[in-house]
Structure 1
Amino acid sequence: MTTENASSFEIYSKELTYRHRPHDEESEPSLKDITFGLPKGSRTLLIGANGAGKSTLLQILAGKRLLTREGTDVRIKGKDVFRQYPGGVTFLGTEWAMNPVVRGDIVVSDFLNSVGGYRHKERRDKLLDILDVDLDWHMHAISDGERRRVQLVMGLMGEWDVLLLDEVTVDLDVLVRDDLLTFLKKDSEDRGATILYATHIFDGLDAFPTHIAHMRLGSFVKPPTAWPFPGVKEVGARTRLYTVALDWLREDRTHRHELEKQGRKGRGAQNHNNVPSDSETFYKKYDYSH
C-alpha cells in the first residue's frame, strides 16, 4: 500500500505508531506501524484480545487522540483526521454511558430533540422501533442496556458515511442486537457507508462483515482481509467466524505466554512467598491500627 493510492480508500492509515506517553521512547507503543486501507461500503470486524489496541485505533480514527510521530498518515474520506476532520463520521464507544450528563433526570424525547432528533425524524423513529426505546424513559432511571439503546439512536439517526463502533452492542439483548446489525448491514449496502466495528461477541455475525482483521499487542497479525475465508468450516455449534476468532485468540494467549517466558511481565496467579497463608498471620501483617 502506498500513499499514492490512499485516496482510493474510505479509511486509510500508514505507519501509525502511538504511545500513550509520546515523549517516552522507551515505553511500549500501544500501536505499532499500523498500515491498512478499507474501501467505501466495507464492513470490517476488529478481532483481538483485551489490550490488543482496537479501542486506541478507533479513537485515533475518530480524532480523539493526537499523533505526533513524523511520517504517520491517517485519513478518512481522503482527509487528515487531525487537520481537516471529515464530516459524516460517527464514533460510538462505551464511555458515553458513564458520562454524568446522560445519567441526569432528563426525558429521552427531550434528550434526543436536544441533539437534533427532530431533524432526522424518519430515521430516528425507525431506530426507536428497532432498539425498542420508550421516549418517556428518564435517563437516570433506566438500565445500562437501555441507556446504550438511547446512545445508539442518538448516534445513528443522522446519515453517517463512516461508522466507528467500539463494543457498543455488549449491553444489548440478543434480539435487539440482531435487529440493529440487520439495520446497519442494510444501511451500509443501500448507501455505500463504511463500518469498522470492534467486538468480542461473534454469535450471529457470519453474514455481517465484508472483511475481518486480527490485532495483537498493537499490531495487525492479519490486516483487513475479505470475509469469508475459503475452507473455514463450522465446528459443532460454532459458526465459521466464531471458530476463526477463537483460534486467533488462542494463538494470542500462546504468543503472550512465550513472551512472558522471555521476561515480559506475567498475568494470573503468582507465587508470592511473602504473603502469609494462615489467616491470623495474614491479618496481623495488614493490621494498620498500631
Structure 2
Amino acid sequence: MSVTDAVIPAITVDHLTYAFPGGVVGLHDISFDLASHSRTLLVGANGAGKSTLLRILAGKTLAKAGSVRVQGCDPFRSALAGVTYLGTEWASNATVRHDMAVPVLLSSVGGDAYPDRRDELVEILDVDLAWHMHAVSDGERRRVQLVMGLLRPWSILLLDEVTVDLDVLVRSRLLAFLERETSSRDCAVVYASHIFDGLAEWPTNLIHIHMGRILECGKPADIIANTSLPKRATTLTYNSNSALLELALKWLSEDLKDRGRREDVKRLRWDEISKNDKDGGMNLSAFDAYFKFSRAR
C-alpha cells in the first residue's frame, strides 16, 4: 500500500516477514512505500512490531522473507551513510555515562565539520556545553544523543521513542526542526512514539501496526475523515490534535481488545508459515487463519 504520490520511494517494504530467534514471528507480510519529504508516525501498542520494523529499516536486523529497500538498497547488506537510527538503548550505554565533556562527544561525530548545524541543534535541544555525561539526567543525556545523531545531514531518520525523556518545549522545537528538514531537504523521517501531544499537523503519513501486521496506512486527514471517533463528554470543540489522539486511543483500545490477555496469545512461529509465504507468495495460510480468528473474538 502506498502512502505517498512520489514516483521513487525513499523506503519500499514489500511482503516483509521477520521471525525472532526461536521462530516466533514479529512481522508478517507488510508492505508500504514512503516518499522523500515525508514524516511518518508509527502507531501501535508495546510489542506490536514498531521497533522491529525500525531496526530492519536501519539495517540492524535481517528479515526472514520479503524485501526492504532504503534509497534503492538493501539496508542490511549495504552500508548506507545517509540512514540514521536513534533508539532508547543509547542512554543506558555505560560508555556515555563516563566523565566526558559534551564538546568532546560532539567533535567525535563531526561537530567541527558542521559548526552551524551543531550550534543550531545545541540551541534547539537546550544543551549546555559545560555538561559532563556522568553528571546529567536521563533527559539531558537524551538531548546530547539527539544533537549527536542529527548533526550530520541524513537522508532517512528512524526514531524509536527517543523523545520520551524530553520536556514539552524541547520536544516541540525538535519536531519543528524535523519538519523544516523534511520540507527543505531530500529526506524522510519515520517516528515511533506513544506521545501524541503537539503532533496534529506534523505527520504526513500514519502507519498503524498491530500484532506484526499493518492495519491502517495512509494520510492522517484521510484516515481521520473515514474513522468514526467518539465524541468528547465535554462541550469543547475538537481540534485536529485531539482528533489524532482520539484516533490513536481508538486503535490501541481495539488492538488490546483484539489481542486479549498476553498469556493467552499464541504467537505464530516461523515453521507454521507455508513455503509459499516464505517465498513471498500471497497465500498467508496459518497467519491469516489465526489473525482472522483473533479479530473475530
TM-score under structure 2 length normalisation:
0.80
Q: Quick check: 1:6–1:78 contact (8 Å CA) kept in 2?
A: no
Deviation of the 1:68 alpha carbon: 4.1
Farther off after superposition, 234-243 or 100-109? 234-243
Q: Quick check: 1:16–1:33 contact (8 Å CA) kept in 2?
A: yes
TM-score under structure 1 length normalisation:
0.82
| Alignment-derived partner of residue 19 in structure 1 | 19
Superposition map of 1:99-248 within 5 A: 99-223=93-217, 225-229=218-222, 231=225, 235=232, 236=236, 239-248=242-251
Q: Quick check: 1:6–1:12 contact (8 Å CA) kept in 2?
A: no
Q: Which amino acid aligns with 1:264?
A: V
| Alignment-derived partner of residue 250 in structure 1 | 253
1:44 equivalent in alignment to 2:44? no
Mapped partners of 2:126, 2:78: distance in 1: 36
**Tell me, which stretches of 5 or more residues in structure 2 are unaligned?**
267-297
Q: Secondary structure at the match of 2:141?
A: helix
Q: 1:82 aligns with which of 57, 76, 85?
A: 76
| Alignment-derived partner of residue 285 in structure 1 | none
Q: Secondary structure at the match of 2:16?
A: strand
Q: Secondary structure at the match of 2:61?
A: coil
Q: Secondary structure at the match of 1:73?
A: strand
Mapped partners of 2:262, 2:140: distance in 1: 41
| Alignment-derived partner of residue 272 in structure 1 | none
1:54 equivalent in alignment to 2:55? no
Q: Quick check: 2:40–2:207 contact (8 Å CA) kept in 1?
A: yes
Percent identity reads 51
Farther off after superposition, 6-15 or 72-81? 6-15
The count of residues paired between Structure 1 and Structure 2 equals 255
Mapped partners of 2:193, 2:77: distance in 1: 29
Mapped partners of 1:138, 1:82: distance in 2: 34
Deviation of the 1:190 alpha carbon: 0.8
Q: Secondary structure at the match of 2:68?
A: strand
Larger Rg: 1
Q: Which amino acid aligns with 1:39?
A: A
**Tell me, which stretches of 5 or more residues in structure 1 are unaligned?**
266-290
Q: Secondary structure at the match of 1:8?
A: coil
Q: Quick check: 1:7–1:78 contact (8 Å CA) kept in 2?
A: no
Q: Which amino acid aligns with 2:183?
A: E
